[in-house]
């Protein structure tokens, strides 16, 4: 591609910045005119695709066009590719809105979602005094009486079978990160997130009555709690044992009544199982918190909901994730979290989990979600809460 490339080793003395800015303004005006013209052409493309029942996106053709565009641009190839990719994405989103704006399946589901959480039966993993118990009471009220199950899977099963209306599960911790098992189960079961609550995690070292610090040889807790107290455990030279839940670990330590065994759990769990608190706030980082989500079989979007979660997978192509994320930025939407999990049976391919700020009743938000739902494989809207 040829153009009026300047001699970088010689800048004319008469050349002023204001003159160059005027030149750029004129080019931008021409770009704007061509952009509008291109979008009108996209309308015609949408009509033809609707008539001939063709898909909006054709990834193979897009890659061919982008490759050729990059090559033609020479030294500016990378930037040119990014520019054209953005134009293609904007065009695809516009075509999606024209073809499925009011009739898309996802749009209908979002617009007909309930607004009130109905039901009072709650499932939690663990036992009384667990952090999930605290989360349930924090979200549903102190009078909440959750049913407790040994495993995360059991919580999902309880909601699936209708034994409970909701499940309360940890999804991430500020120190130990994501609870990957819950992410995987959430996708597998196709449930919705209808709420969330953050619980302050203040771990205590709990031991049988009369036990002293020098007696302790082993500690029992959930792997996340062990990770959150790793420095403390190493400092004291404790052996570690993983348990399904911190409160369950405390329950067993109380039953064994062995002064050499202690649990890492909450103060509430210590009171529940009549254990001595040998030391409080033993987590490595102050301000440690766990985010719990409320899951349901039914989509509920309460008034004032301001966070949206979704999951999707992408083709294994250069820039595919960037192109998705740039569409959120282009619409002024703030992404607050992104997590990836490997797709089973597909080497080096991933499923992404994404949180961003917004409400589905915002037309820009709804249009973007509807567009992504038709363009992406394994797209799933997880909730607006």
Residues in the chain: 385
Q: Which domains does the chain have, with CATH numbers?
A: 17-100 (1.20.59.10), 122-201+289-296 (3.40.190.10), 204-279 (3.40.190.10), 303-384 (3.30.70.260)
Summarize pLDDT for 153-173 with one digit per residue, the tens: 999 999 999 999 999 999 999
Provide the pLDDT confidence category of residue 187 given band limits of 50, 70 and 90: confident
Instruction: Tell whether the model's pLDDT for residue 4 goes beyond 70.
Output: no
71 contacts: CB under 8 Å, gap ≥ 6: 77
Summarize pLDDT for 270-311 with one digit per residue, the tens: 999 999 999 999 999 988 899 999 999 999 999 999 999 999
Looking only at the bridges linking them, the beta strands covering 218-221 and 261-265 are parallel
Tokens of 96: 């999606």
> HSE-up of 238 (CA within 13 Å, CB side)?
25
156 contacts: CB under 8 Å, gap ≥ 6: 167, 185, 189, 191, 295
Q: Where are the beta strands (DSSP E) in the chain?
A: 122-125, 147-149, 166-173, 177-178, 192-200, 204-207, 218-221, 239-242, 261-265, 276-279, 289-296, 307-313, 335-342, 350-357, 377-384
Provide the pLDDT confidence category of residue 58 given band limits of 50, 70 and 90: confident
**What is residue 350's predicted lDDT score, i.e. its pLDDT?**
86
Looking only at the bridges linking them, the beta strands covering 307-313 and 377-384 are antiparallel
**Active-site amino acid positions:** 290, 292
Mapped onto helix, strand or coil, the DSSP state of residue 43 is: helix
Provide the pLDDT confidence category of residue 233 given band limits of 50, 70 and 90: very high
Q: Is 104 left (phi over 0), alpha (psi -120 to 50) or beta?
A: beta
The partner residues of 263 in beta bridges, in order of sequence, read: 206, 220
Instruction: Tell whether the model's pLDDT for residue 371 goes beyond 90.
Output: no
Provide the pLDDT confidence category of residue 12 given band limits of 50, 70 and 90: confident
Provide the pLDDT confidence category of residue 312 given band limits of 50, 70 and 90: very high
Tokens of 134: 């605290």
Chain Cα centroid distance, residue 232: 30
Instruction: Tell whether the model's pLDDT for residue 182 goes beyond 80.
Output: yes
Q: What percent of the chain has pLDDT over 70?
A: 97
Instruction: Tell whether the model's pLDDT for residue 103 goes beyond 70.
Output: no
């Amino acid at each position: 591609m040829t153009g009026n490339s300047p001699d970088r080793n010689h800048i004319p003395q008469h050349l002023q910045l204001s003159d160059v800015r005027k030149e750029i303004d004129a080019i931008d005006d021409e770009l704007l005119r061509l952009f509008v013209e291109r979008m009108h052409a996209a309308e015609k493309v949408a009509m033809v695709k609707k008539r001939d029942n063709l898909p909006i996106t054709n990834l193979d053709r897009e890659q061919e066009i982008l490759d050729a565009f990059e090559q033609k641009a020479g030294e500016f190839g990378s930037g040119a590719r990014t520019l054209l990719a953005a134009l293609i994405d904007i065009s695809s989103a516009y075509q999606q809105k024209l073809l499925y704006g009011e009739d898309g399946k996802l749009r209908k589901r979002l617009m007909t979602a309930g607004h009130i959480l109905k039901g009072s039966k709650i499932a939690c993993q663990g036992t009384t005094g667990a952090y999930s118990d605290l989360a349930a009471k924090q979200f549903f009220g102190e009078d909440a009486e959750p049913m407790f199950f040994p495993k995360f899977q059991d919580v999902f099963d309880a909601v699936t079978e209708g034994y409970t209306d909701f499940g309360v599960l940890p999804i991430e911790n500020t120190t130990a990160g994501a609870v990957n098992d819950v992410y995987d189960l959430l996708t597998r079961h196709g449930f919705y997130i209808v709420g969330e609550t953050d619980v302050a995690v203040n771990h205590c070292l709990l031991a049988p009555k009369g036990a002293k610090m020098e007696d302790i040889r082993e500690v029992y807790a959930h792997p996340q709690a062990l990770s959150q107290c790793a420095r403390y455990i190493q400092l004291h030279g404790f052996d570690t044992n993983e348990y399904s839940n911190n409160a369950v670990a405390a329950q067993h330590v109380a039953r064994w009544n062995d002064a050499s065994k202690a649990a890492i759990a909450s103060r509430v769990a210590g009171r529940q199982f009549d254990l001595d608190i040998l030391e409080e706030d033993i987590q490595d980082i102050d301000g440690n918190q766990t985010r719990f989500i409320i899951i349901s079989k039914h989509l509920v979007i309460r008034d004032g909901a301001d966070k949206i979660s979704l999951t999707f997978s992408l083709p294994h192509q250069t820039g595919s994730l960037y192109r998705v994320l740039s569409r959120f930025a282009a619409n002024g939407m703030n992404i607050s979290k992104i997590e990836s999990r490997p797709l089973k049976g597909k080497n080096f391919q991933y499923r992404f989990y994404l949180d961003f700020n917004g409400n589905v009743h915002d037309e820009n938000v709804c249009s973007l979600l509807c567009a992504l739902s038709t363009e992406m494989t394994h797209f799933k809207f997880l909730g607006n809460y």
